[in-house]
Amino acid sequence: MLQRVIPNTSESLPVIGLGTWQTFDHSPSDDATMQDLSSVLHGLREAGGRVVDSSPMYGRSEEIAGTLSTQLGVNRELFVATKVWTRGRESGIRQMEESFRLLRRERIDLMQVHNLVDWRTHLATLREWKARGRVRYIGVTHYDPSSYQALEDVLRRESVDFVQLAYSVGVRDAAHRLLPLAEEQGVAVLVNRPLEGGTAFSRARATPLPDLAKAFASSWAEAFLKFALAHPAVTCVIPGTSSPDHMQDNARAGEGRLPTPAECRDLVRFLEA
């Protein structure tokens, strides 16, 4: 799988990861679903992926990801990212300690301030924890383009290692200023909702993959994920899925060549038409 270097470090990450919003929020007593999710995690590792992203906002997702990855014996191999999503220093510390427990980790690779909630308070804590080695990287996130100005303001004022944002063939706002800014400042980028929660397929479901996309992809999922990866600022995309087959399809986007800027523009024009 293609790897990209985390800016200002010598560490690289595989470009296809796994988001857990909704898809991992299930009861551990649901054996059939747990088997599928275990196969998803196994498929991610088999394909060379490592990044798994979660949040306390995602219900039981941290617990399920921590439990299944430990059962599979891959927990220590993963690049585990999660978030703090509350207000107040002490509340944030309690929530993050619980994330460590649920994810079965003594150290979290990436801790992010979820949707900029009380970000000044939490970034101060995260800097302390990074200095102590409890977290390796710190970052900020938002999924809504209407909040990208606030996200940009934080990136310009604060020193962070990662930013997580939405970027896709149909939601391209981040390409205007945020992605160039991240590239300029040496901030790694995780892309959430690269498939727009599945709605990206609504534009293409009844349409065969066109020749313009077959030049670099074998499925719509691969084409959409490669579109996001084609931007040089993007470090890793984290589509969510509970389907082992979809995990395999997504992982293929990390192989082979990426579309050129001209091919990306052609794909957008095709879908908009």
DSSP-derived secondary structure for the chain? --EEEPTTSS-EEESB-EE-TTTT-S-TT-HHHHHHHHHHHHHHHHTT--EEE--GGGTTHHHHHHHHHHHHT-GGGSEEEEEE-SSSHHHHHHHHHHHHHHHT-SSEEEEEEGGGTTHHHHHHHHHHHHHHTSEEEEEEE---GGGHHHHHHHHHHS--SEEEEE--SS--GGGTTHHHHHHHHT-EEEEE-TTGGGGGGGGTTTSPPPHHHHTT-SSHHHHHHHHHHTSTT--EE--B-S-HHHHHHHHGGGSSPPPPHHHHHHHHHHHH-
Give, in words, the CATH class of 11-205+233-256.
Answer: alpha beta
pLDDT digits (tens, 9 = 90+) for 189-224: 999 999 998 888 887 877 899 999 999 999 999 999
Query: Is the pTM of the predicted complex or chain greater than 0.95?
Result: yes
Band (pLDDT 50/70/90 cuts) for residue 147 is very high
pLDDT digits (tens, 9 = 90+) for 106-134: 999 999 999 999 999 999 999 999 999 99
